[in-house]
Amino acid sequence: MPRIIDLSLKYEDRMPAHKGLHKPFVLPHLTHEKCKEQNLGTPEDPLTFATSFFAMNDHIGTHVDAFYHTNPKGQTVDQMDLAMFMGKAVCLDLRHIPDLGDIDIKDLEEAEDKARVRINGHIVLICTGLHARYYPDDKVSHTNPGITYAATHWLADRGSRLHGVEGPSTDKPTDPTFPNHRVCRDRGITHYEWLCNLESLVGHGEFHFQGVPLFIGGGSGSPVRALAFLD
């Protein structure tokens, strides 16, 4: 059986979010203690329930962007091909990139050589160590590096329709031009944001990845449970 590495954030009340988005609410709704008042089950075998309330934007926590997120004519998350969200993957070690730094073509090429995997249609996960450095401090929301315009084209040119990063965005928060998002829009590719535990994948070569979105009608993105399967 393959070893499964969970790359997903736990959804918690008021967890860090992108600087432009409201933090989520994750709260008790019906508690076992409160449910006792309903006298459910039988006197000999009482039954209680617990439920939770959560409310959040569709770009909170570990999530994938739908094409519609940046393209008004693009597919919403419920219209996208499920096969796109799983497949062969590689994790590139970019932990030398500083906070608010740029990930450029040279960085990707050097990391590709170290990974000993030629990117050819792979899902490319980029480990910068951001999550380990800062999460759950809100500093994680405004210190991430960004993938340059040229580097995003480099990924698309190698058939990578999906890439993934730690932190809230593939673009650094100090750059209002959003180069990665614009290239994704123009090239028909997209990405995962808020991944974690990517250090566990560095040096493992090729592996299988899966991060399937929820079936949200009209969704501009969706939370996912992102998993890596190591042989």
Longest C-alpha distance within the chain, in Å?
70
Question: Which residue's entry shows tokens 């996960």?
Answer: 125
Question: Which residue's entry shows tokens 């899966």?
Answer: 210
Q: What is the pLDDT of residues 75-91, one digit of tens each?
A: 999 999 999 999 999 99
| DSSP state at residue 168 | S
Q: What is the pLDDT of residues 162-202, one digit of tens each?
A: 999 999 999 999 999 999 999 999 999 999 999 999 999 99
Structure tokens at 201: 């994948």
Q: Can you state the percent helix, strand and coil of the chain, rounding each to 5?
A: 25, 25, 50
- Residue 91's contacts (CB-CB under 8 Å, 6 or more residues apart) are 115, 124, 125, 126, 127, 198, 201, 202, 204, 207, 228
pLDDT reading at 1 higher than 90: no
How many distinct helices (H) and strands (E) make up the chain? 5, 13
- Residue 159's contacts (CB-CB under 8 Å, 6 or more residues apart) are 119, 120, 121, 122
For position 69, what pLDDT does the model report? 98
- Residue 176's contacts (CB-CB under 8 Å, 6 or more residues apart) are none
| CA 90 – CA 207 distance, rounded (Å) | 6
pLDDT reading at 97 higher than 90: yes
Does residue 163 contact residue 190 with C-beta atoms inside 8 Å? no
Question: Which residue's entry shows tokens 């380990």?
Answer: 132
Amino acid at 114: K
Domains, the chain, ranges and CATH? 25-55 (no CATH), 63-230 (3.50.30.50)
Q: What is the pLDDT of residues 114-155, one digit of tens each?
A: 999 999 999 999 999 999 999 999 999 999 999 999 999 999
Q: What is the pLDDT of residues 25-79, one digit of tens each?
A: 999 999 999 999 999 999 999 999 999 999 999 999 999 999 999 999 999 999 9
Reported pTM:
0.94
Does residue 147 contact residue 163 with C-beta atoms inside 8 Å? yes
DSSP E strands in the chain: the ranges are: 3-6, 25-30, 51-55, 63-65, 86-93, 102-103, 123-127, 146-147, 162-166, 190-195, 207-210, 221-223, 227-230
Q: What is the pLDDT of residues 191-228, one digit of tens each?
A: 999 999 999 999 999 999 999 999 999 999 999 999 99
| CA 111 – CA 61 distance, rounded (Å) | 26
